[in-house]
Structures are given as structure tokens and as C-alpha cells.
Structure 1
């Protein structure tokens, strides 16, 4: 049904999509999950007192890139080699920001990861980067790209007329193998260490601000997901257990597969809590919250969470700074709907009020 109704442009704004490969994500997810084995008729699969059903749902989360990001790059000579310090006014809360910053920086500078250090969380670092809206990596990446461009321009000034790069403009030069090289003729190059040595400099530092997020004015930009799950519902107690779940994501380029998979899985677990147990209970007489602690407000624990499979398209968006979209929150989106659809397939009961607690299924 989703594939049949796939739009060719954003139905709300009328803008063209910057990058949208959700149909590929749907098909890949269906193949990996075994969707063809799903019983079309609800309440027809059983295993003893457990009813079994499968469901799916789509998810979307908008791409953001907030203004105000800056990056400071310091390139320091270390004998015949160099090392780089990239500083951004960002917060690292466990989502892998420092790692992705190092990956982007090393790629832009033509250095290995062990030659790149990342500094963050210091008020002396210029700029302001918010950790929210699944946009921090995009904001940092745009700032690092701007700072790298400024670094290339500064190094060309230091290189002087005796350099193989003499007379070249910054937009014709890129970084590779710990040095600068002409983009269309990599043999015309000079190492960072050589440039700094000739200029009698131990280091060079540049700071630059990211470009304004004008891409948001011209394109409809989103992260997308296709969530598949299998549930088991006990006919005696009404207990619901998610036995399998898979997330198939279309979020542009995946910068760090290891931390991305962890982000997606964490979001899916939060979505399971939304679907089955998380609920704020109020005393309607005075507005008091009646389950204010984790003793009464239930969230998923290890026994509530099945094996979570995660796949993605990894197709870069040509209109974002690094080809990537946000992944911090798209993992949550769509999970509760997929669970509800699976519960319907298992029991024939359509629950439209979250969480899906056992009293709604008895």
C-alpha cells in the first residue's frame, strides 16, 4: 500500500525530495524480515495459547541543520608528519558525536583517524551547536567543511611561490595523503609538513562558520524508516511480547555504521516502550502525576526487548553537507504503529490508544 502511494514530491509543501529511497528500504526490509510469510487474515496463527501476528509501518523525521555552528582546526607539525585538532562547541551524550566528527575531519583533511583529535564541551570554543533535532552531526559537518576550506586557503598563502601549488586557487585544491593536491592533477601536491616547514611554522589555526542551511528552502528533506515486527499475544492474560523486529532505514550516507546501528536500536527500544508500557498517569482531581519514578513508570528492560535487526540504504543525499540525514530520532518513529498493526494481525483487535496494555486485549 505504501509503495503504491509513493509520491513523486512532498504532498504538503510541493517541494521535490532531496533524497528519498524509502521504496528500496521497504523492499529490502520485507525480504530480510520474511514478510511474504505473513498471514493475511487476522487471528489465524497460534502457538499454544499465544496468538502470532506481523505488522509494519513507515516513519519519517525531518532533516534539520541549525545555524550558528563553527569549527576550529589546528594543524600541528610533528616531525615529518602532522596532527590535527578539530574543536566544535558541541555536546557528546553518548551518541558518537566525537567519533563522527573525527571521521569527517580525517576524510576532509586526508589524514588517518589516529592523526585527528576532537575537542568539544569547552566554552572557549567558538560557535554554538545544539544537540537536538537529530541535527548536530549535520551542523558540525558543515562547520568542519567550512574550516577545512579556510585551512586550504591559509596553507596556500604559507606555501608561497616555491611550492608546486604556487598560483593555484583554493577552490582547485583539495586534501589527500596528509597534504594538498590539485583536484584534477593529484601529482601536483605538497605535504602539510613541507608547507609548514618552509613557512617556519609549527602550526596553523583557522576558524570558520558553517554555511547557512539554505538547502532547507529548496528541498523536502527527511529521514525515512520502514519498521517490521512480529508479536505474540497471550489469549489468557492479554500479555503482548514482541518476538522479532527489524528497522529498514533511508537516512542518506551512514557516517559510522557501528554507532549508527546503536542509535537505531536505541530508538526502536524507546518505540517499544511507547507502544506497550510507557504512560503518564494523572490524578484528575489535582493534576498530580501518579507514577513519577521508574518504579511506577515502566520502560523496556532486557527481557522486553527481542533481537533487533537494522539495515539501511546508505545512499548519500547530494544536497546535504556530508550526504547524511539525522538518525537520532527516526528509530523511534513508526515502531508503535508497527506493533499495533502486528497486534491486529495476531488478534483481530484494532487498538488505537497507546500504550497497548493487556486490559485492552482481554
Structure 2
């Protein structure tokens, strides 16, 4: 690719993220911790050349008229670049590297990120086709967990994945992967997640996996979950199960329909059954912080049952029984 000074960082498998704040300031993330590097570009021009080299083969462009771009390296790593005039100190570049090794449940157990009973519960929820929402902050590993859960889907079911920038890597025999497309230089050709989701419903999916729910597509996703596409999965930026449901409400409102709040909450409460919250600890470890079930509405408040919670540096059973599974708190 000719990524100049970044080539060594790209090749280092221990690095998960590369952050170029400025041509002479580059940080990396290693094992969940941010570290400065002594690697530099010679000039702003050299950094801009590298950014051009990444985006041009993908048919994207970056210039003063379009100073922000999302792209992907050939290995699947995700790239975001912003240049002047938006970036005040000069061009900046962020590369979220594509993990070569796929993480499995055994790895999570070994890292104390999940317990055996929580693992068994989640595997059962995928098997019996409950709709699962994975929530957490940026860089907490939502996509990794989404991959893991989607890998548990039986091979005789058809999965359609829909993403903004393709990151999921499912090894599934009956799989269609769709990726949204930004507008071209003339402002045409954009295909949104929402359009892909509406189209996916015509493709006879058993399960729909939306890489990340961010906007008006939330309404279409909830309707799909409510109309025979049980066992669908998605992720969302939120720091608690309740906050995730509130964010979904806001996204449904963004769809522009004048729906009463009660109707919105009924849609959400009947569509989302399990919420898995993940977080990054101060030592850089990513762990499952909570697993909860959404069991319905009482008056207009969500009824949420916490089955697993993070206590004393570990994920513990709360002792409350599951509405659907064999899980009974042991």
C-alpha cells in the first residue's frame, strides 16, 4: 500500500489502533492502552499522500470540498481521515486495525471477560432466536462480540449483515453481506443502511445483523425484529441497558414519523429481548459488564430484569430467573 512510516505499525499485530493526530504526533493502542510513538511523517504533504493512496483505489476522494472520508484497507482495517479546513492542526488519520485472529468464547472466558454461565445463556438466546442488542462505548469490542454471537447461528439459517463499513467476518455458509455507500463527488449514489435494511427484507433473511444502529434505520430494524425476523442482532453506543433503550427511542423519532411515545416504547419492548453491555476497564481489558432482559412495559416504563451484573471485579449472576431460558441464577 505504501503507507510510509505507518507500515511498521500496520505490520505489528499487537497494535489495535493507529492514531495520527498531526504529521509529527502518532499514538497507538496496544492491549487497550494508548501510547505515544516516536514515529513521524516528514511533512504534512507526506501524510496527505498516504491518505490519498488509501482512499483513491476505493473510488473515494478527499479534498477541500470533501475534507472527511471513511475507507477500508485491503485487509479490512477501518480508516477515517480528516483534513484542513476541518482539522485545524492539519490532516489527521485513524486506523482501526482488523484483528487477524478471531476471538472465540474460550478466549473471553480465559480473559475473565465472561463466565461459563453467561456464555451458556447467550448461546442459548441465539439458538432460541431472541433479538439481542450489544451496547457499550467506542472501542469496547461491540463488533467483536457481535461476530461471536452471530457465529452461533445454525448453518441452516440465512443471515444478511448490513454495515456502514464492513467489519464483520462471519464464517457462515448462507450469508449475504451488504455495505452502505456514501455519496460520490457529485453528491449522488448514496445508499444508506436504512435502504439496505428495507431491501434485505425482500431477500428472505432468517436473521438480520445490523453492524451498528445510529439513526432512522432503528425504526425499520425494530419492525423487522417484530415481524418474523427473530434472532436478529445489532450494536448501539450506550453506557447502560436503560440508556440504550432511550437512545433507540431518539433514533426512532429521527425517522420522522409522528409516533406517540407509548407506541415507540411498545415497539422497542417487544423487539429487543436481551441487552448485553460491554465496557473497557481502566487496565484496558474489555469485559461483559451486564446482561439484562427486556420483559415488557409496565404503564409506559420498561421492565428490565438484570440477569448478570459486574460486582467485585467479576460478572456475577443476580439470581433472577430468565423469562425464556433455562438460566435460573445458578
Name the TM-score, length of structure 1 as normaliser. 0.19
Name the TM-score, length of structure 2 as normaliser. 0.20
Question: Which one scores higher on RCO, CA 8 angstroms, separation ≥ 6?
Answer: 1
